[in-house]
Structure 1
């Protein structure tokens, strides 16, 4: 009997030791190394706050790069059509006038470019302004300057400039400028007065005021804005029409005229726009490089993307790219531009 009890105790002790041995591996494997964690792009509720923030940043970067690619593709297409239109106009200038055939071709190209600009959207948001500038956030805006408003010219006395926006209701918008105010101080006063009316204010490299407005406001302001001064920058008395000059030419191909007296002016418009396109494409590429380098800094701290996920992302992207676009080419170009890792490029390009 005593022997049986001892045998039972030995068996129980053995079972207990066996349970402990079985439990240890489970405890040991619970902490999975960082480089074996699941891809954060596929995680949802299981993300920690830090991972969620990284996930959000990566998603935002994906949208920025995707929108930039739409903008660049649109600019390239418009640029090709501008080159064709330029050749037609040059031919008409050499001939002395535009034949009915050339006129029809020019009108067709203008319509095609206008349509391409209207279609330059990402997630139903425009990615190009009428000045063929990239729209990185918000709505397209037109930048302009107010003729006669020289911020570098100092005034010996305080001055109040009153802008009439002609919108109905409270039209008068006073801007108080202190004597001998610096361009930065003047910009701050204009910003405080005009921002609530949807008019942006900044200084350019020459420290001159640059204003901006959305499309609807620009059309109104360019025709209706008036100003009253105190005899220094602007005359006193009755409101006077103020002249607004855009910082870059606006892209309105269907308003370009092709009569004999306007062919050279239309040629100037096409050349201006082609120059603007080159500048905007460079701006887009610089922007993309900055975005990718910032995200690469985050990814350097935590690498989650496995080869299997990368291959899947590449396959997904190759299916969603526009017809004729090649993922391998786009992938290599972006990688070379930003000098970043393959994992980062795929995480930015994939959705």
Structure 2
């Protein structure tokens, strides 16, 4: 910043000297001609330097996020291998050995469930052990509503009120309509509450992202008109999560048959995780190579921006990218000042 300030100070001193010596008419003319100079930006080479530094720093944050995801996937891979081993050991004929192995398998299963990989407080892995990317968002939480079937056909119209975490929606369920028509009405009405609706072999199924799921687990307040829901006071409808085979919580480690099915699911999950680990390692290596090039040459700026876009496909956007955009609008601050702001 001292270099930038010295340039600005010198420019201001020159302006004051000209103002004292010039005639009034000349002073106005001089000030008018100097206005463009006052509005002029930092020299092009300096702006390029800031832009280059910002691009590299953003790339370094992308690499850091990839490294965190890589370590998380390695942890998951190790736990899956250990769980696979203990699940197989639970099938031995020796009851004592089988029981001990099963206990260890259940502990490993719980550790997998508790894995929480984050960068800048944003999750990098979802509850199904999938890497979260810009193209592949976190898996939704599937659930059903207990003790009520909102898509069941009825002879009369029914208007229901749905309340979740202080937000509410009113949905009209027409009479003499089939389940598919009612599901479409539900989907339209529940969308503002962060709830999706779909049809499955077992009936109507709902889904939400992790943030909304935390709220929905407490139950959903509903009021009807006596067709599917009682009229009057709101009723709390409990929800029950429907787990995917990819979710470690779904794996049953009880009977031998359940263990065999669990081992098959563990094996498929391990293959998936190893594949994702390879992908993130390749993306991280490419980014590191590009960052190394741009640190040596200005001509590599375009390549780095292209690689940033490629890595963006592997890693979700971090808060840092938004901060860089804001910082570049005030390019007359020093690198140390920018660093301090970014840490705040």
Superposition TM-score, scaled by structure 1 size: 0.47
Normalised by the size of structure 2, how large is the TM-score?
Answer: 0.48
